[in-house]
Structure 1
Amino acid sequence: MNKPERRPRISREQQKALRFEELTNAAWTLFCEKGYESLTIDEVAEYAGYSRMPIYSLFGDKQNLFFHVWKKISLELMGILLKGCKEGATLNENLRQLAENLLQDQANKDSHGASIFYVVQSIGISRPDIQEKLRDLAEIHLQGIKTMISYSALEPGQTLRSDPEIIALNLIAMINGSSTVEFQTRRHFQDADYLHTLYKAMALN
């Protein structure tokens, strides 16, 4: 009789990472169903198959849990926005790719991503520790766009309108602003040509 195959043991750090992932995924799923205010730590823990203690040991409280939910979502979004942007491609081409990626992401999502952004921003107003984490996260996004600008090639006769970091700040502000308007109005009023034209005007002379 063959013995059942033994499952490989995982380290404490791997167990911690797994719990972290499962709890943030559970919090996001329930947030999409119930919103933030009515959702409790106990409900998140039960949905993920844990007691409440791992949430307190990993995150400290509900506010920090939802910061990490937003961090996970926003980093995934940055990966989506920069997908297909290539080192050595022209900045014009990479800005076009950025515009198309943004519209594709918006078309595939509902309003929950924008909702959790506002929830976490509101939490940060009264929580300096979370506000600092939000600044650190914003710096990661800034460096991602700045790096894309820096590794892109310029076409003959083109120059950058400003320092890559300034351009990146302006692009992020434009992306955030347009996303806010679309979230508030529930209307998609942009297309890739429109965004590409705006991005070029902000980045290139």
Structure 2
Amino acid sequence: MDSAGWAYAVTVPRAIADVQTPGRRRRSEGKKAAILDAAETLFITEGYERTSVDAVAARAQVSKRTVYDHFGDKETVFLRVLERVSDALVSTVRAAIDEELTVGRDLREALTAFGHRIVNQTFPSSDYVAFRRLVSQQRSVPRLPETVRDRPERMLEDRFAGLAATGEIRAPDPRLAARHFTALTISLALEMVADQRQQAEAAEAAELSAIITDGVDAFLRAYR
């Protein structure tokens, strides 16, 4: 057999072995999801440093080798969990922008509804608040790239650019306007929720509502 024949004889079985059947692919994806679910719970309850790959594997009911095969190391597992939390926030923000900040709606009403929707749909999930606190308090915790973290703000920037183009707000710099709006409303509400959860207290809905309403009024005084 010539060298080409040997190459064929060697490589074909390997290629066949590497092909994943639909059933095998589903099982693989199921294991990945189980690992991320387990890791998310452990990172929230135990923190980043105290969570081990062994603990993640045990909770996900897979082998430690399986965790490494899918993700490589604990840092990558954490970043993939952060991406899931971030993706959920992006979906919420996108829907809120499209459905609340609509053309022709009273601007104060629209901005207030938008702020309330983000607070009511995002903050009740302990995941977002817990991971934000975890990342902000521990320097050793891996962080997503800024381009990923800033996706919600960039979407709001785009909508504010549209509002500026139609004369509804005066915003020569839509990105700065988006940052100011976020700082006056959502960020303040988030800080209150995070602080109160840390003290095992429940954030009052009336307090959150007041933060959003007052923040919207302050924003409009500056940008109208």
Taking structure 1 as the reference length, what is the TM-score of the superposition? 0.70
Partner of 1:102: 118
The answer to whether 1:55 aligns with 2:67 is yes
Secondary structure, aligned partner of 1:71: helix
Decide whether the 8 Å contact of 2:119 with 2:189 is kept in 1: no
Q: CA deviation at 1:154?
A: 8.0
Per-residue CA deviation, residues 100-123 of structure 1 (Å, 9 max, x unaligned), is: 21331366334x532222323455
Q: Number of aligned residue pairs: give it.
A: 191
Relative distance call for 1:57 and 1:135 in structure 2 (3 A) is farther
Relative distance call for 1:140 and 1:184 in structure 2 (3 A) is same
Partner of 1:21: 33
Per-residue CA deviation, residues 77-116 of structure 1 (Å, 9 max, x unaligned), is: 2322443433535454442222221331366334x53222
Q: CA deviation at 1:198?
A: 1.4
The answer to whether 1:192 aligns with 2:209 is yes
For residue 103 of structure 2, the aligned residue among 59, 69, 88 is: 88
Relative distance call for 1:24 and 1:171 in structure 2 (3 A) is farther
Q: Matched residues, percent identical?
A: 19
Structure 1 gaps, min length 5: 1-7
Amino acid of the structure 1 residue aligned with 2:151: I
Distance 1:154 1:195 in 2: 25
Per-residue CA deviation, residues 45-64 of structure 1 (Å, 9 max, x unaligned), is: 23223222333344332233
Larger radius of gyration: 2
More helix per residue: 2
1:49-198 correspondence to structure 2 within 5 Å = 49-86=61-98, 87-88=102-103, 90=105, 91-105=107-121, 108-110=124-126, 112-122=127-137, 125-126=139-140, 130-131=142-143, 133-151=144-162, 158-174=168-184, 175-185=186-196, 186=201, 187-188=203-204, 190-192=207-209, 194-198=211-215
CA RMSD of aligned residues (A): 3.4
Q: CA deviation at 1:179?
A: 0.9
Taking structure 2 as the reference length, what is the TM-score of the superposition? 0.65
